[in-house]
Each structure stands twice: as structure tokens, then as C-alpha cells.
Structure 1
Amino acid sequence: MTSHGDGRAFAFLVNPSSGGGAAPDAVVPVARLLREAGAVVDVTYSPGPQAMTRLVDEAVARGDVVVSVGGDGMLSSLAGLVAGRDATLAMVPAGRGNDFARMLGLPDDPAALARVLLEGEVRRVDLLAVSGLGAQRRMVAGSIYAGVDARAAAIADRATWLPRSMQYPYAALRALAAYRPGRYRVAVDGIPHEYAAATVVVANSAYYGKGMQIAPPASIEDGVLDVIVIEAASRLALMRSLPKVYDGRHVALPEVTVLTGKRVELSGTLRGSAGGPIPVGGDGEPLGLLPASLADPAVVEVVPGALSVIC
């Protein structure tokens, strides 16, 4: 990475719709502090998917640190691009969840965050590579989830009329109230398992859903995936266990299974005579529908040390 003067140079890419429109306001104080410290700061608002690749290429050619300003979805959309160019990523968390920023221990205070961007260490962290969901192979930073939590994420996206702090809890309860369990086939490093479950989460990071500690043992630097299976239970039992997910106590429940490995194959359908597809999400974004066939599953693999990130 080249530098301007003695400091880092930054290319901020801002998703203005993140956090219900909070991202543009989050940029201003951090960018000002960086400029006052002598850093060169370039800010681009509303980069669409087509423009994102070009903007990252231009930033990398200049030797800039690429800064994701938004939520976990924005981060994931940039992580693969930055990793593929062996460049460095930083974050100004400004989304609803900010779960990967939580995993990195990033501060909320603009002054403290600017200090991290200027002086923080560059760490190499793992990413997830996902294929078999109808689109091309893509990278995700935090987790992939299939089932009731993917429905909850979709509900949270529409719950913009609620205060940000209430959107995920509301969405989780709404999704649980209408959930149907699925029949899942989960192969971890080639070892097959079958479950009747509410959800299956393949986690790189410990957190999702705005601070839910879904995978307490997860590390973003161990080259291992943590697979959390929450087996089918009554709606009421699932609702009662929801508070336990915030501090990770749910993994002690008998209906929760934790597996670890480097490659996970997933397929399944909703239970019942009608069957039906199971939705899949990743870092707050819909990724498609889980393949029904074990012969053609979705595949999630860990990519160790894929991304350089300042934290």
C-alpha cells in the first residue's frame, strides 16, 4: 500500500440507504478527523453493483484503503472484491446490524474509529465462499443461514417504520410465529447429517441479527466454520429460547447442535405435504433458495486469511 505523506489514504464507499439512511451522517465526522490528521480521503456515495468493481480497482491502483460505509451487506459486497485484489479493507459501521464490526471490536465513537483507521493493525481474517445458489460463487464475511432466520432478515428489511433497535427482535418474533420446520441435509467435511430443523447457520463470525451471538466459539482467524443447527421445536419454545441467543446460552439447549469443519454442503425442503423451498441469506442479504437435491447442494467453504482488514 502506498501512502500520502506519513499516513494512509482512504477511499470511502458509502451505501446511503444503510441503517435507514444513517450512513451518510456517519461518514462526515470520521472523514473530517482523518483529513485533519493529514490523510487523503475520497468519498463516493451510492455505488451500485456495477460501479463497485471499478471503484475498488481505482482505489487499489492509488494504494488506498477501501472503506466500507454501511452495514454487513455492504461489507460483504466489498470483501470479495478487496480480497481478490490483495488490498486492505476498513469499516465505518453504519447499518442496522453491524455484526462483523462487533466481531472486530470496532468502536462506535467517530474519534475512536478515526484513530483505528489511522493507527490500527492490519489483520488477515477468513471469509466464506458460497456457491450453488443459482448465482456465481460469492464471498460473505459473517455467516450464511437457511431457514427461519432468512425469513426474519427479509422481514427486518421491510420494518423500516420501527426504531432500528426494535427491527430485528420484531422480525425474529414475526418469523417464528409463522415458521415451518425444514428437512435439512448437512454434510460437514464429507460427513452427512440429517435434521428436522428451524434453521441451519454456517458461521465465520460469532454474531448476526444485530448482536445475536449465534456461534459463540466462532473465530474469524481459525480457518474453521461453525455450523449451528437449531432443531425443530414448537413456536413457543423457539420464542422462549430467543433471548438465550443474544449471549450464546442457546448452544447448551438439547435442540441445538454445533458442528465444525472447512466445507459444508447444504440442501433441504420445508416439511409437510406441500414441501417448498427454504430461503437462504448471508450477512443480511437474501441469497436465494436452498437446493432440494443432495446431489446438487449449496456449498459453503472457509477461505482462510482471505481479507486484510484494519481493526
Structure 2
Amino acid sequence: MLAVTPDDHPAVGPVAVLANPTAGRGRHRGLLPRILDGLAAAGRPVELLTADTPAAAEQACHAAVAAGASALVTVGGDGTVHRALQAVAGTSVPFGPVPAGTGNDFAADTGFPADPLAAVALIVAALRTGRTHPVDLARMSAGTGPERWYGAVLAAGFDAVVNERANRMRWPRGPRRYDLAILVELARLRPRRYTLRLDGVEHRFDGVLVAVGNCASYGGGMRVCPAADPTDGLLDVVVGGRFDRRTLIRVKPRIYAGTHVAHPLVRSYRAGTVELAAEGITTYADGERSLDLPVRISAVPRAVRLLR
């Protein structure tokens, strides 16, 4: 159970709202006026942030927090959450995700209802009472570059390679592009050599699946790190070894239930600090393109206060 703590952030500024109108292929776009009206019931001003790119959305969140927002709320999926976390992580500004995307894994795994208006009601109740639930986040860095935060799962294996392939493709549009990227990468499937350090203890392996989870799920309900708990101060690491195409096709559907971890080629670990290296891998965190390997990831306990 998540701990409950009083919110010592002063409730004097507006509730800043980052909304992604294209999240979930726009199926909840018409709900935005009702969501904003619902948030206003908390008795605070509501400020809708404007941004036309993911980078601008992140900058808008940072600016809102710096200007004294009393809370930050997202309306979208995990990608929108990811942008907001860069601004609120490690601060006293509370955060509430309204799930309205294709994948809402962070919201689901931290106790928010799947219905957007029900999530708004939960957030408003928390704003009125000034109560928050602290949960952990993962903080990652690569070399001398800037640190990044994520809330759900970092993918650094086959799924990351597929995402990278799909993002480079200009045809077809929509979900078919991702399906085609899967077929292309299955045809090219080969285990890669990884070096993994868990709290300083080194492991080397050849594998096709690597996930580092603060939460259990990614990809819209795939429980890739089924034992992950965002309140235990640790990261869960799940690796899949030398799968061939046929084995990967059989095992991958089992990820939705989390039963893939029982396969003899799958290993699970838990650590506070994870260092991961391999050649030619760009990681994806919360479904968003992130850092190239090698990376260092640390669990940061109670890094964000959730409005629930």
C-alpha cells in the first residue's frame, strides 16, 4: 500500500495542466473542457499549458513549476507523463496523471482509475485535502549528459529496437508502421552482448529482452517487470536470453500477464542502481525515445508526490 503524507507544498499557485490532444489517437479530446472544469472544483485557478512539440511541452512544465504552480496535472498517456516528470521529480510540487493515452501504465500502476473523469475526481479530492502519496522514480544518465527521469519502464532490448525502427519509417502511417517494424526486426533478430551491473555486481549475457522497471508495465498493460513496486526503493530488471524468433513469438504474449518470467531463458533481478551497456541500442523510457546505452539508472525513493 502506498504511504499517505500531508502535502507541504503551498497551495497558492494555479493547477498547471499539460494536455496532449493527440493522445490515444484523440479519443478523449472532447473530454478536455469537462476535465478542466472538474479540476477547477478544487478551488484553485487552472492554467492550461500550451506547447506544440514534446520538447516545448517539457519546457512549459518546467516554466510552470518555476513560476509557482501548486500542482501539475497531465491529460494524456505515458509520453505526456514522462514530459511532466522531468519538471516535478525531486520537487514538492504534487502531480496527477489523467489517463487519456494509448498506454497509461504509470497511472494504472500507481493507483489511478482508468476512466479520465474518475481520475479527475480523485485528483480533486487530494487537492482539497492537501494529501499526497509519494512514489519512487528512476533517474538515469549517460556519460556527461543531462539526467532524465522515468516513472514506468525503460526498454533496452527488442522492444526498443522496434521503436527505433518504427520512428525511422515514413510509411505506413499509424499502427501498421509499428507492426511492420516488428516484422523487420524479427527477421534481423540476434542476441546482443550486454554488460549489466547491479549495485556494482557485474553480469554479462547475450540477450534480446532487457527491461528496467520502476513500475510493472509498459506498452499499454504488458507486465514486463511484474514484481516491480514503485514504493520499495528498488528497480526490477528482467532480461530474456538467447531467444530465437520462434521462441520470442511464443513468449512475448505472456508478458501481458507477467508469466514470461517463468521461462527458463528469463532472469529477474532487483537493485538500487543499474548500469547497462550494449552496442547500438537507444533506450525507450515511458515509451519515449531516451538515452543511448551505456546508461546508469538509480531508484530515487519518494521522488514524486501523487495526487491521490
If the length of structure 1 is used for normalisation, what is the TM-score? 0.83
Counterpart among 296, 299, 304 of residue 302 in structure 1 = 299
User: 2:153 maps to which residue?
Assistant: 143
Partner of 1:245: 255
Q: Does 1:16 align with 2:16?
A: no
- Distance 1:148-1:37 versus aligned 2 partners, 3 A rule: same
The offset of 1:95, in angstroms, is 2.2
Number of the residue aligned with 1:95: 101
Residue 38 of structure 1 deviates from its aligned partner by 4.3
Q: Which among 22, 29, 33 is matched to residue 28 of structure 1?
A: 33
Deviation at 1:170, TM superposition (A): 7.1
Give the conservation status (yes or no) of the 8 Å contact 2:157–2:210: yes
The within-5 A match list for 1:128-167 is 128-132=138-142, 135-154=145-164, 160-162=173-175
The answer (yes or no) to whether the contact 2:58–2:86 under 8 Å persists in 1 is: no
Q: TM-score, normalised by structure 2?
A: 0.84
Given that 2:71 and 2:93 are in contact with CA atoms closer than 8 Å, whether structure 1 keeps it comes out as yes
Amino acid at match of 1:299: R
Kept in 2, the 8 Å contact 1:65–1:87? The answer is yes
Post-superposition shift, 1:20? 2.9
Aligned to 2:4: none
Secondary structure of 2:75 counterpart: strand
User: What is the CA distance between 1:152 and its match in structure 2?
Assistant: 2.8
Runs (5+) with no aligned partner, structure 1: 270-276, 292-297
SS in structure 2 of the partner of residue 13 of structure 1 = strand
- Opposite residue 79 of structure 2, the aligned amino acid is G
Mind listing any 5+ residue stretches in structure 2 that lack a counterpart? 1-8
Secondary structure in structure 1 of the residue aligned to 2:89: helix
Question: What secondary structure sits across from 1:123 in the alignment?
Answer: strand
- Most deviating of 144-153 and 17-26: 17-26
Aligned residue among 34, 49, 66 for 1:44: 49
The answer to which of 300-309 and 40-49 deviates more is: 40-49
Give a deviation string over 1:70-98, Cα, whole Å, max 9, x none. Answer: 22122122213112432111111222211
- 2:93, 2:216 → 1: CA distance? 24
Aligned AA for 2:297?
Answer: V
- The percent identity for this pair of structures is 33
- Indicate the residue corresponding to 1:125 in structure 2: 135
| Mapped pair 1:286 → 2:292 | no
User: Residue 16 of structure 1: SS of its match in structure 2?
Assistant: coil
Distance 1:59 1:231, change over 3 A: same
Tell me which residue corresponds to 1:274: none
How many residues align structurally? Answer: 292
Cα separation, 1, equivalents of 2:114 and 2:263:
33
C-alpha displacement of 1:68: 1.8
Return closer, same or farther for 1:10/1:216 CA change in 2, 3 Å cut-off. same
Partner amino acid for 1:280?
T
Please report the RMSD computed on the Cα atoms of aligned residues, expressed in angstroms. Answer: 2.7
Counterpart Cα distance in 1 of 2:281 and 2:182? 16
SS at 1:96 equivalent: coil
Shift of 1:197: 0.1
Could you say if the C-alpha distance between residues 65 and 167 of structure 1 is closer, same or farther in structure 2, counting changes exceeding 3 Å?
farther
The SS at the match of 2:278 is: strand
Q: Judging changes above 3 Å, is the alpha-carbon distance between structure 1 residues 74 and 219 closer, same or farther for their aligned structure 2 residues?
A: same
8 Å CA contact retained: 1:19, 1:94: yes
- 2:225 is aligned to 215
> What amino acid sits opposite 2:155 in the alignment?
Y
- Which residue is 1:203 aligned to? 213
Q: Shift of residue 195 of structure 1?
A: 0.8
Counterpart contact for 1:13–1:68, Cα < 8 Å:
yes
Q: Does the residue aligned with 1:45 lie in a helix, a strand or coil?
A: coil
- Decide whether aligned partners of structure 1 residues 63 and 50 sit closer, same or farther in structure 2, where only a CA change above 3 A counts: closer
**Helix, strand or coil at the partner of 2:284:** strand
Q: 1:73 aligns with which of 50, 74, 79?
A: 79
Specify the SS of the correspondent of 2:216: coil
- Separation of aligned partners in 2, 1:115 and 1:99: 19
User: Which amino acid in structure 2 is aligned with residue 285 of structure 1?
Assistant: E
Give the 3 Å change call, closer, same or farther, for CA 263–31 of structure 1 in structure 2: same
Deviates more, 1:68-77 or 1:237-246: 68-77
